[in-house]
Structure 1
Amino acid sequence: MTTDDSPHTAVVIEDDDDVRDLLHTVLTGSGFRVHTAPAGLAGVEMVRRLRPDVVTLDVGLPDIDGFEVAGRIRRFSTTLIVMLTARVDAADEKRGYEAGADRYLRKPFRPAELRRHIQEGLAAKST
């Protein structure tokens, strides 16, 4: 998924260990240098420090929710934000986009589906 010799960077903000590990594996396998945060505030600071190409963001986090995290990230970054959540309500999806998400993907998701969303999102951001 990288377009040059330097790997892209991804930040995974996810409190569930299993999902976080899966995302790390999928993104690493797609050529990303991956950093993970188990909570929202730590994730915001990681994004600020690392300036990643992609952020995957869970909605249900232990400190602040993913909507708040997306809004905070949008104050200083245009990184691709892929919101990942088990929430299926259309109002939540709308709220995700309004908060700053570029993509909204429901759990459970297929790794190929996540890779496609990231690839399309990065392509759209580069044009």
Structure 2
Amino acid sequence: MPRTVTVPSFDEVLSRLGDEKFDVSPATEGANRVAGARRVSKYGCAAEIAPSDVKDAPVRLLARSGWVLAGEISRLTDRGYQKFFKTSKLEVPATADALTALHKFDEELKNAIGAQELYNEAMGTTSDKYIYDRLKGRA
């Protein structure tokens, strides 16, 4: 007999996130103003989600998860020798503890919202941007 999968509503996902001890608040990122958007945070990391228009997915990710610096969700940048957390105003080197917290946050968030876990993301933290000095100027 085929297995039926019930897709939770956005409100049910928010309730599940609250049960998992995530802090859920209205979204704050200016560029991602969407009706019903929420900022989800835990372990010093945050992401922004909103209700999805797709039938099989109740949640849409607006702002990728990142470490929170000065109230802003940072982007992880890999420069080959070091990873950095970068916001519009500042940039700090990523520590092992911060990367561990980000990886744990991503894993728990995806589990709570029912998102698909990709192999390369499950193996460790992936960066938003890769910048290598020795490749500058190459075509």
User: Structure 2 length as normaliser, TM-score?
Assistant: 0.31
Larger relative helix fraction:
1
Larger relative strand fraction:
2
Larger Rg: 2
User: Structure 1 length as normaliser, TM-score?
Assistant: 0.33
